[in-house]
A and B are shown apart, each in its own frame.
Chain A
């Protein structure tokens, strides 16, 4: 086993230092070392999108990022989406639109949506479906997720 190294990253606005082995993924460190279990594990090979986080603003599947690669980066996870005790527009739209059933894919969808709306504040349905195609949901049939993304986008546009 290779020696552990110290990694430093900014997670949800706070500088965090942690020890990790070279073989550990960012997902594993978030969940097991830092106890941030809001980021979910669905397949651990990059296929389902449940573990999506934002790495320097880009959406990544954290199961395919080695924790050491995150050194010096800025990471945003589902735990950092709400502003204090207020849900953000995407979270609120998912709740009000019943866009979740079991909820295991929801953190990943919310993070992917945050990235989408950052890049494209007023996406078409086609653009939403294309951008979210890497996130699997087995419960909803996607209808209410796509509508929630549309609702969140409209709400943000109306308030900015």
Chain B
């Protein structure tokens, strides 16, 4: 696509084997759960069986008396936090809420909420002891639905929550009643009433989506050693070792410098491994026992007690002229934040109309506490929800007006200069190009025949973030470069970072050895999330390479006895006057004789990304007797800016699509009326398997982002946004039913089909 055949690069755009590959196909790679230390104890958590209850008493005496038990901790062992709001790398956190989520203080707010923890000689003794911890509860009425929780007479989860409005001065807690509505967002552009008055057709619907989980295969884990000198080391799987360090230090109220986080290999995250759950608990158990302590969640704990993404209720209205021009849009979005405030509803508000030039818009969002686990980021947080709403309404409009859905998108697409409803103006973006790619694709151009078959398209947007990264790189005598970074590698980013350093230095990707190191060994680096690593850590690597270039130029100048200004670094060679020349390798061999080590360093902090767009096309077949949907064919076109390693770009696109298919068709937190999740196993939660999906065809569109030296756009998140809408649209074209509830599982779809036949 686009610029692919005019590529000026030597390393970028190639597909080298990833540097950590051999370790990962032989079982040698050490993940957090693989940690073993001499004298290590194993821990187990005591968790609430109730969704909402007051803790009357906790009696740990029987557990402590069990042979082999070494320590028990409760919230009484956690330092008090008071009213502190702390910036933790990925947003600000209320420390009182954060600590209560680690170990419940006076109330439990969801089933699975941690109450106490045990360390013992082995995991079986620890689990047995956990069952001996006696917790007396006063059971309270849970509230599970976002609309119920917003009512005036709803049970209140947190006494200290008052509604905060974006841009409004905070309310004093003394002068107002507690509420479950933690945040209120409002965005307005233009004159919505005027916009709808100009419309020939206005479509408005309500939508519901279920809470879903990131579903990473590796459970959360942490091994902690609180040493006698007061220094704490945590070995864990995390998306961000520095935010994990900071969260742990703030929760334990120790200086950040006394905590070292050693990031182990990580078995998936998707936003769910940013918040810490286990490290402070493992550290407290270690302090009590003087030994390292390992904690690992069960799969049920992962579902019940980590950070899934919210369920939602949304109302969306879109007005268009007869010839298919959007005149106005209005959205009302409520997300269930879970037990404590902090859902991504603000981002959902900013994403809902982002694909389109909406001249008049109004978006309102609510962050609402319910008795479910505290939600967290999940791949383009908030954007998939709203894409389901807007993209199915767009499809309905196209059908009613007899317009091609891709031509409608081209006509209304956001482009460079389009003002978003939340205010800012888009820089150079690739929405149009992704729509064109799908329009011209072999898939969209091919006919689809057969009963109960339909084709759907949808687009999606995600911001992508910049934030902070650090890289150092050392030149070795043999002309290779050792690259040190702080970005934990979840999907092959060691290689995409190494490739950018290699490209800049004009050496081979294989001549760079990337290593992810602990928090004492590299400068501050933000999380592996927000589709930022290949972008921002890539910029840091390019800066480090340029730093090396400058030093190599000086060394060559010294050897040639010329002014450094007379030396040029060009494609892995140093060129001097009168045809003098060194290759990178030749000069590297001389570095000890010319002044010693050459270490380049680079950081990134101010660059922000221009945003990522994707457009998808899917063919489905619906079984009208069961409501089961089969994906027949799927094509994704996405703007990657510049694809550094195309295989891993495709991999992100394919993986995001299949997660989106799961969200669309199967996945949901299924609660009973007591607030118990009834499907907290993989078997019942049902991620897509390879038998459920076809090959996912990818079209990498390249509209370079001018903020990155090679034009990179993050690719990790936006592929999850369009699938539920695209599939809903395909289902409509297959069986004539408009789905406005996720998941579109067989029972949900079948009931709509039966309804339609009754009508």
Interface residues of A (CB under 8 A from B): 1, 21, 23, 31-32, 35-45, 47-48, 50, 77-79, 81-82, 87, 91, 94-98, 100-107, 110, 125, 128-130, 132-147
Query: B219 contacts which of A41, A128, A144 (Cβ < 8 Å)?
Result: A41
With the chains together, A101 CA to B495 CA distance in Å?
12
B648 to chain A: which residues have CB within 8 Å? 98, 101
Alpha-carbon distance between A87 and B21 when the two chains are bound, in angstroms: 11
- In the complex, how many angstroms separate the beta carbon of A130 from the nearest chain B beta carbon? 6
Give the contacts of B483-515 with A (CB-CB under 8 A): 490-492
In whole angstroms, how far apart are the Cα atoms of A26 and B30 in the complex? Answer: 19
Residue from B17, B217, B657 whose CB has the most chain A CB atoms within 10 Å: B217
Chain B residues contacting A38 (CB-CB under 8 Å) are 26-28
> Which B24-58 residues have a C-beta within 8 angstroms of A?
24-31, 33-34, 36
Q: Tell me, in angstroms, the Cα distance from A122 to B645 when the chains sit together.
A: 30
The listed residue (B15, B30, B269, B656) touching A37 by CB distance below 8 A is B30
Which residues on B sit within 8 Å (CB–CB) of A125?
A: 695
> Is chain A's interface secondary structure helix, strand, loop, or mixed overall?
loop
B 203-219 binary contact with A (CB < 8 Å = 1; else 0):
00000000000111111
A47 to B693, CA, bound (A): 18
Q: Could you tell me if A81 and B30 are in contact, using CB atoms closer than 8 angstroms? A: no
B98 on the A face (CB < 8 A): no
A102 near B28 (CB under 8 angstroms)? no
Q: How far is the CA of A98 from the CA of B19 in the complex (A)?
A: 11
A144 to chain B: which residues have CB within 8 Å? 647, 650-651, 654
- Tally A-B pairs: CB < 8 A: 184
Tell me the complex Cα distance, A96–B15, Å.
Answer: 9
Which 8 pairs between the two chains have the least Cβ-Cβ distance? Answer: A38-B27, A104-B267, A141-B654, A141-B658, A47-B682, A103-B24, A98-B647, A78-B27
Would you call B691 an interface residue if the criterion is a C-beta within 8 Å of the partner chain's C-beta atoms? yes
Contact A136 B26 (CB under 8 A): no
Q: Which residue of A lies closest to B216 (CB)?
A: A138
Known: A95-B22, A101-B651, A146-B695. A136 touches B267 (CB 8 A): no
Task: Please name all residues of chain B whose beta carbon is closer than 8 Å to the beta carbon of A42 when the two chains form the complex.
Answer: 217-219, 267, 299, 682
Residues of the B chain whose Cβ atoms lie less than 8 Å from the Cβ of A103:
20, 24-25, 29, 265, 267
Judge whether B690 and A133 touch: CB under 8 Å: yes
A101 touches B124 (CB 8 A): no
CB nearest to B29 among chain A residues:
A103
Q: Known contacts A98-B492, A103-B267, A141-B657; is A132 also within 8 Å of B690 by CB? A: yes
- A41, A44, A91 pick with most chain B CB within 10 angstroms: A41
Complex-state Cα separation, A137 to B215, whole angstroms: 9
- The answer to whether B22 and A87 touch across the interface, beta carbons within 8 angstroms, is yes
- Contact (Cβ within 8 A) A79 B26: yes
* Interface check B565, CB cutoff 8 A: no
A101 and B267 CA atoms in complex are apart in Å by 9
B647 contacts across to A, CB distance below 8 A:
97-98, 144
Query: Which B residues touch A139, using CB under 8 A?
Result: 268, 490-491, 651, 655
Which of chain A's residues have a CB closer than 8 A to the CB of B651? 98, 101, 139-141, 144
B25 CB contacts on chain A under 8 angstroms: 87, 91, 94-95, 100, 103, 106-107, 110
CA distance A81 to B27 in the complex (A): 10
Q: A47 and B681: CB pair below 8 A?
A: yes
A–B pairs, 18, beta carbons within 8 Å: A32-B36, A40-B33, A41-B296, A43-B219, A47-B681, A77-B27, A87-B22, A95-B18, A101-B268, A101-B652, A103-B267, A133-B689, A134-B689, A136-B682, A138-B215, A142-B689, A142-B693, A143-B696
CB closest residue in chain B, given A110: B25
Most buried by B among A1, A134, A135: A1
Report the nearest B residue to A36, measured CB to CB: B27
Quick check: is B185 within 8 A (CB to CB) of the other chain? Answer: no
Residues of B within 8 A of A32 (CB): 36
Given A21-B124, A41-B33, A48-B217, 16 new contacts (CB under 8 A): A37-B30, A38-B28, A40-B218, A41-B219, A42-B218, A44-B298, A44-B299, A98-B492, A133-B689, A137-B217, A138-B215, A138-B216, A138-B655, A141-B655, A143-B654, A144-B650
